Amino acid sequence: KELTRERALNEHQLLTRTGIYKDINCKSLRQQLYELKLKTHTIRNDLVSVRRMQQSLQVNFKTELQDANKKIENQIYRLHQMEIRSVQCRTIENELDLYVINSTKIDRDLEDLEASVEELQNDVKSKHCYVTMNDVESFALVLSTISRSLVDLKASFPVLREKICSLGPQSTLNDDQKFLHEEPERLDYTIKKCKRLTTMLYQLKRLAVSQEQKIVPTKTQRRFSLGSNGKSVDRKRLLEQIESITQNSDGRIKAIEKAEKLRDRRLNYANQLDTLKQMKYTAEQVIQSRRK
């Protein structure tokens, strides 16, 4: 009986505890489900916000990426244009330097030729020197070469000026506007000098032809006479004039150097003429040999 009573008591206690646990567990489960529902709703809202934020970030990133690509493309294009412009500037600068070199050479050659022709003309007028056709032809050859170079230079100037102006106002070459403004006048002045030399050479050629017709073949040709009237000067009188000259070594040296330069130039012109004649003769011989 005691065992039965104790067993019944234990079963009653067990049933009581189980009921209490069931009530506790039921209340806790509802609370957990409710909290879980709230958390799920919150998480869902957060996911929606995150999704919207992600979409917004994607749109912003795409826009910024496009802007960055445009900036990079513009920068690359600008650098490419700057490189092209730099190459154009260097090319035009080289053309301008070559133009100035050719212009300087033409001016120097024309100045030397003008000095030689004037020196020969003065010798003819003051010293009654004879003029040979060889001298006139050599001068004419040099003048022809200078004239062709001058024509080419004048033809190239408008193109060069247009290239310089096409670079725009920011170009460093536009600082030389004075050169672009004065160069046409200088070219016209140089052409006038060539025409003047052509007239002088034509007069010297006529004089050379007339002198060659008057020269007697049996007499020895003299380059110039000692006297202004073609007669010989008394030796004693000449010595007195030499002794009466004021000593001026510097002036004599400069005069001698000038005479040597003029002689060298005339010799150079004569050599150029001989070379041209030789080339012409060789070309004619080659043509004749081919015909045979």
Q: Which DSSP category does 1 fall into? A: -
CA angle 174/176/182 to nearest 5° reads 120
Q: In this structure, which amino acid lies at residue 292?
A: K
Residue 211's pLDDT band (boundaries 50, 70, 90)? confident
Listed residue (169, 170, 175) closest to 96, CA to CA: 175
The structural domain count of the chain equals: 1
* Summary mean pLDDT of the chain: 77
DSSP labels for 111-133? HHHHHHHHHHHHHHHHS-----H
Q: What is the mean pLDDT of residues 245-250?
A: 47
Domain annotation covers residue 254: no
Q: What is the mean pLDDT of residues 255-276?
A: 64
User: Which pLDDT tens digit goes with each residue over 18-57?
Assistant: 555 555 556 678 888 888 888 899 999 999 999 999 999 9
Q: 200-204, 207-211, 238-242 — which one is most confidently predicted on average?
A: 200-204
pLDDT of residue 133: 84
How much is the pTM? 0.57
Q: What is the mean pLDDT of residues 107-112?
A: 90
Domain annotation covers residue 42: yes
Give the whole-angstrom CA distance, residue 38 versus residue 51: 20
Domain annotation covers residue 3: yes
Q: Which domain holds residue 19?
A: 1-74
Higher pLDDT pick, 245 / 184: 184
Please identify which residue in the block is written with the tokens 């060069």.
Answer: 160
Domain annotation covers residue 51: yes
